[in-house]
Amino acid sequence: MRWLAQSCSFGDLIRVRLGAVCHYGIFASEDEVLQFALPPIAAYADREKTVCATDIETFACGQIVETAVLDAKEKKKRRSPEQTVAAARARLGEGGYDLIHNNCEHFATACIFGEARCAEEEEARRRWRSRPILNVYLLRVAENTDPERIVSSARRKALRGRKNPGLAAEGTAAWIALEYGLTHALGLDPAGLRFHCDRFGKWSCREAGFSLTHNGVYAAAAVSNAPVGVDLEDPAAFAAKHGPETVAAMADRALLPEERSAVRGAETFLRMWTRKESTFKCSGSGHFQPLAVPVSASSQCYALPSEGLLLAVCGANSAALRVFLLEDGAARPIAARLLREDEPCVY
């Protein structure tokens, strides 16, 4: 759609620029321009905002009137001039004006196309959705093991086929958290998404970046509008299970020499391990081979004090991290404290 200062014809979509905003209407004649509310100038500030008809001079407020020149696709969608004007006249006296969601442009485009559109609202939505987003959603596994709660039929089928009931329960909880997060963070309907599982078992969809993890007690889903990786561990449980010799052996098998130099015990090893896991999940493919995955500088570790957990995330939007605990179908924000490499932490 282009806008030109040219003569108006019956049924045209027209607008006038009034400072930083535009006022839209449907042209019927020089004596009848149909519009939702009078032009937004001081002289009409106290007038009721309803669909009304004025002459072209009142609509223009002394400014140049522009006419919409439709592209080929828009011409196919538009109503006839007679239908356009009839639709506008049928709404005379209608109220419910809203500057963001039901304004003069919504009215005029609905009359001509049969569908309300607003370029300013769409641009605002685009900017809002394109802001950096990285949310992590935690869910307790024991309370969320019913795969029938999952919208994706492909994922339900895959989980039913798992022979290990514990892993099936954890995978179910992680996917429930994911589907909640896709809607909560990005406004996406999981029912309308097509998920793909590669031959290594990694799931993805075109509309969002996401990553899943679980540690037996909790499952977590990271949701972002950029590629993301996540890992979640319980430092106290790990330290109770693995002594110093075991940790040293694990570090030899999993960490590169420069990574091992930062390890001073179970907790520091676990930080490096979770960062490595999140790095691989963010950008890796195939099977996870720890020694082949250098820890990314964009991976960070966070303490979740309220849950006693260690969280690692990797992704371009990691600075925008927000963490939520899902309880009773609602998301409650919880604190996530960024850990410096040389900072001891009590969970």
Is the model's pLDDT at 110 over the cut of 50?
yes
- pLDDT tens-digit map of 180-209: 999 999 989 999 999 999 989 899 999 999
- Rounded Cα distance between 287 and 279, Å, is 13
Return the percentage of the chain with pLDDT > 70, whole number: 96
Is the model's pLDDT at 347 over the cut of 60?
no
Q: Is 149 exposed, middle or buried (0-12, 13-18, 19+ CB in 10 A)?
A: middle
Instruction: Give the predicted TM-score (pTM) of the model.
Output: 0.68
User: If you average pLDDT over residues 65-88, what whole number do you get?
Assistant: 96
Q: In angstroms, what CA-CA distances link 132 with 129, 215, 335?
A: 8, 27, 19
Q: Which domains does the chain have, with CATH numbers?
A: 2-127 (3.90.1720.10), 131-338 (3.90.470.20)
pLDDT band for position 163 (cuts 50, 70, 90): confident
- Rounded Cα distance between 205 and 224, Å, is 12
> Who's near 57: CB < 8 A, 6+ residues apart?
none
Instruction: Please give the full DSSP string across 226-290, using - where no structure is assigned.
Output: S-EEEEEE-HHHHHHH--HHHHHHHHHHHS-HHHHTT--SHHHHHHHHHHHHHHHHHH--SS--G
- pLDDT tens-digit map of 24-49: 999 999 999 999 999 999 999 999 99
- In this predicted structure, what is the pLDDT of residue 156? 85
Q: What does pLDDT average to over the chain? A: 91
pLDDT band for position 262 (cuts 50, 70, 90): confident
> Who's near 236: CB < 8 A, 6+ residues apart?
308, 347
How many C-beta neighbours within 10 Å does residue 110 have?
A: 18
